[in-house]
Amino acid sequence: MGGMAGFMYRQLTFTPKPLPSSITLDGKTAIVTGGNTGLGLEAAKEMARHGISRVILGVRTVSKGEAAKSEIVAQSPNCDVLVWKLDQESFSSMHAFSERVVQELDCLAIVILCAGVKLLEYIKSENTGHEMNVQVNHIGTALLSLLLLGPLQKTANANPGQKTRLTIVTSEVHFWTRFEAKDAPNILARLDEPSSFGEGMDRYNTSKLLNILWLRELSSVLGPDVIVNGVNPGLCASTLHRSDTTPGIAIFNKIFAWSSEQGGHNLVDAAIQHATDQGVYISEQVVKKPSSFVLSPQGKQAQTKLWNETITLLQEALPGIDLLSPLLTM
- Strand, coil or helix: what is 61? coil
CB 112 within 8 A of CB 169: yes
183/191 Cα distance (integer angstroms):
11
58/115 Cα distance (integer angstroms):
9
In terms of C-beta density within 10 A (0-12 exposed, 13-18 middle, 19 or more buried), how is residue 183 classed? exposed
276: number of Cβ within 10 Å: 8
Residue among 182, 148, 187 at smallest CA distance from 168: 148
In sequence order, what DSSP letters do the residues of 15-49 get, joined into one string? Answer: ---PPPTT---TT-EEEEETTTSHHHHHHHHHHHH
Residue among 42, 169, 29, 51 at smallest CA distance from 100: 29
CB 20 within 8 A of CB 265: no
Beta-strand pair 226-232/80-85: unpaired
The catalytic site residues sit at 171, 204, 208
Name the CA dihedral angle for 65, 245, 201, 189, rounded to a multiple of 10 degrees: -70
Beta-strand pair 281-283/286-288: antiparallel
Taking the CA atoms of 105, 329, 321 and 136 in sequence, report the sign of the dihedral they define.
Answer: negative
